[in-house]
Amino acid sequence: MRNSLLAICWGALGVIAPVHATSITAPEPASGWQAKPAVQTQRFMAVTAHPLATRTAVDVLSSGGTAVDAAVAAQMVLNLVEPQSSGIGGGAFMLYWNAATRQLHTLDGRETAPAAADANYFLDTNGAPLKWRKAMVGGRAVGVPGTLHLLHTAHSLFGKKPWAELFKPGITLATEGFNVSPRLAQSIASAADRGLLKFAATREYFFTASGEPIAVGFTLKNQLFANTLRQISQEGITSFYQGPIALRLLKALENTSALPALMTTEDLAGYRTILRPPVCAPYRNYSVCGMGPPSSGALTVGQILALVERFDLPRLGPSPQSIHLILEASRLAFADRARYMADIDFVPVPVVGLLDSDYLSERSRMIHVDSSIGKASAGIPPGVLSANATVYQSEPAGTSHLSIVDALGNIVSMTTTIESGFGSRLMTDGFLLNNELTDFSFIKEREGLPVANRVEGGKRPRSSMAPTIVFDSHGEPILVTGSPGGSRIICYVAQSLVGVLDWGMSPQQAVSMPHFCNRNGKTDLEPAETTASVDLALQAIGHQTRVRDLNSGLHLIQILPGGQLISGVDPRREGLAAGD
């Protein structure tokens, strides 16, 4: 019955190539629909955003490397072939499942604000908040990078292969060059008038001598990055955080923004990866685990799932009615996110209270099957220690996600970013620097109440990255997922989980279905042949809707009871699944 109902309802939503809207420009443009085959393997698998990164990871896994080893090597390659999305100039969150000890570890490599930063960091000389598009370009936006420190920490704990060996594929690729892909070429062209031409290093790397964006198929080499990787591979991360690379990084920030960058040598030298407790939310017979604050991902995804758990989504299938219920749950969860979630080392985030079953049961009663809540207000979860203002803010759709399972059953789910496409537009030593500090609130208070995600020295900005591992009732991992997409990451991940866990979809079906998202405002719908009918049904019960590109990059691995691995590769990007 369930499968036949799914087939009927599925036609209403449509597993088809979206008809991309052009009225709204995304920070990182959609690059066309590329149908992806489902891949099934027996021993190990890697799913990343680019074929060269996936093949690098598979080579590491084939030669006995762990999932962490594969992630290190793949990230260095992504830094080259997908520089607009992630790299060692940015930050990341990693989930690592240690199959031998049966422990889940969550590593926080989020960027930090300089120690000298305060709540007025993004106010202009007149005391007014900067416009986001002005703040995002240049040194003021750059946080202390954490990705490299996270990878080094993870490798020291869970790696097997020599550190230097993992850098060889990236060094070779940077030296010999690679062919620019359609997605990279399109991203460069799209960012030309959004600051990418402003600074000499990015202008010389991404554009021809005549100022034209480099084209598809161009052989792009990066000798500066090859030199950087050689130094890090031989000397470890000290040169990056305390040595010559650090000094050149600081130099690259100077005189690049109206307000000066405040980062110092002490800020770089003092960066640390933080091992935080996982945040796990029960959902039906599963446990959905992810990264806690400063990420809002696991908490908000967990809330959405808990809020819809009382409804029979398996019976409803992916219909307009079930979409409505998920959207309403998302409104409620995003309202709590906007008020309470921030860096837990600076703000008392009520983590337990936000996932409290009684609290969420009460909040769920606000969801009605035949009408929309409209704008939802934040609740008052148990354990709230301070009154915070509710603030919604821009969060661009850059970022990348890797899902990896090795031959021993170890798992990496890592979401990695430099924030918006091409970050701050600043390059040093061959890599781009993030503009992650714009993920902070630009205002420190509203109506006399402090904003939880305000800027503070040493603080990590709130993130929506949601690397996720799902466990069954026996504690066995069954699903690895995550996505780029700004604050819509939360919607994409929650939708992929419902697709697999409730609607019986394969991973590839789950990542391919048209997206829907509500962040406590308008309902976003991805353009597809059948979007119009869903749109009308939602409008009829009170949703304000807009149809626009929703550029995810979901990468799923489903682990079957017999150990087989099945992939889901987002057709909106150029990713690849492979393994053995």
Residues annotated as catalytic (active site), given as ranges: 399
Single out the residue of 195, 216, 222 nearest to residue 87, CA to CA: 222
Single out the residue of 349, 467, 486 nearest to residue 404, CA to CA: 467
For residues 407 and 576, is the Cβ–Cβ distance under 8 A?
Answer: no
Token pair in block for residue 251: 């130099």
**C-alpha 79 chain-centroid distance:** 15
For residues 237 and 214, is the Cβ–Cβ distance under 8 A?
Answer: no
Tell me the C-alpha distance between 533 and 293, whole Å: 38
Alpha helices in 449-530 (DSSP H): 489-501, 507-512
For residues 304 and 497, is the Cβ–Cβ distance under 8 A?
Answer: no
Tell me the C-alpha distance between 534 and 525, whole Å: 9
- Contact partners, residue 212, CB within 8 Å, separation at least 6: none
Single out the residue of 257, 487, 459, 258 nearest to residue 393, CA to CA: 487
What does the chain come to in residues?
580
Token pair in block for residue 82: 């997908």
Single out the residue of 223, 206, 220, 203 nearest to residue 52, CA to CA: 220
Bridge partner list, 107? 94, 275
Tell me the C-alpha distance between 418 and 416, whole Å: 7
Q: How far is CA 545 from CA 193, 328, 533, in A?
A: 29, 13, 12
For residues 367 and 317, is the Cβ–Cβ distance under 8 A?
Answer: no
The CA-based angle 61-65-71, given to 5 degrees, is 75
Residue with tokens 């085959």: 37
Q: What is the DSSP string of 79-127?
A: HHHSTTT--TTSEEEEEEEETTTTEEEEEEE--B--TT--TTTTB-TTS
Q: 463 by DSSP, 3-state: which? A: strand
Token pair in block for residue 236: 């470890």
For residues 96 and 68, is the Cβ–Cβ distance under 8 A?
Answer: yes
Q: How far is CA 266 from CA 40, 438, 495, in A?
A: 48, 21, 42
Q: Which burial class, exposed, middle or buried, applies to 347 when counting CB atoms under 10 A from its CB (0-12, 13-18, 19+)?
A: buried
For residues 107 and 458, is the Cβ–Cβ distance under 8 A?
Answer: no
